[in-house]
A and B are shown apart, each in its own frame.
Chain A
Amino acid sequence: DAKTTQPTSMDCAEGRAANLPCNHSTISGNEYVYWYRQIHSQGPQYIIHGLKNNETNEMASLIITEDRKSSTLILPHATLRDTAVYYCIVRATTSGTYKYIFGTGTRLKVLA
């Protein structure tokens, strides 16, 4: 699986959009980009995933660059409850391994 690079930490004002970047310059054509988050003392929670096109769900939007070497997770109106560690993962879904490799993630702090 390709490795990802994320900033160690970020701050965001409550009510503003939080934009979390991720670099995955060695991503392969069959690898998806996944985002999870982990709130303190809880298990990680799935947020969103995508291959090429931008994706949006009730939690967030995922913007993937045309060359697929980087992506941005957008939380449109951050709240205090969005304070968490956010993990960007790239992973193939073809036959073979189905494991997810987590990095150290970005620690997002939403400020009141």
Chain B
Amino acid sequence: DTGVSQDPRHKITKRGQNVTFRCDPISEHNRLYWYRQTLGQGPEFLTYFQNEAQLEKSRLLSDRFSAERPKGSFSTLEIQRTEQGDSAMYLCASSPDRVEVGELFFGEGSRLTVL
């Protein structure tokens, strides 16, 4: 399978714990996005990478959230000191580096439940 893969698919944690999600984009895609989605809402933009450079961050990405893409390939999203409000689906997407980008390729998401 050459699509976007995310790991883990499901994570249950206790409040205050740290969690990390990994995203492996499609290999030739330079752009990588993280989104968060809660029940009944559309995906909310969190951050965006062009290769290893993090070019844009949403105000939703508080100090407890950090995203990296160290070698311009896979990316990690870490949430420190999790809160119940962090419970959501975390979606990763990638796209090729073209001026007119018509298509984001999404992974299946990582569902976080904070108890």
Contacts and interface: CB of A to CB of B under 8 A. Distances in A.
Contacts of A102: 35, 42-45
A91 B46 CA distance: 16
Interface string A82-110: 00010100000110011111111100000
Interface in A38-66: 42-46, 49
B85 interface: no
A28 B37 CA distance: 27
Contacts of A100: 33, 45, 104
Interface range on chain A (Cβ under 8 Å from partner): 20 to 34
Contact of A99 (B4, B56, B102, B109): B56
Interface SS majority for chain A: loop
Nearest to B95: A98
Nearest to B105: A46
Most buried by A among B48, B50, B106: B106
The range of chain B's interface size is 20 to 34
A34 B43 CA distance: 15
B45 A46 contact: no
A32 B98 CA distance: 14
B108 interface: yes
Given A93-B100, A99-B48, A102-B43, A43 B91 contact: yes
B108 A42 contact: yes
Nearest to B93: A43
Interface of A: 32, 34, 36, 42-46, 49, 85, 87, 93-94, 97-105
12 contacts: A32-B100, A43-B91, A44-B93, A44-B106, A85-B42, A98-B50, A98-B95, A100-B33, A100-B45, A102-B43, A102-B44, A104-B41
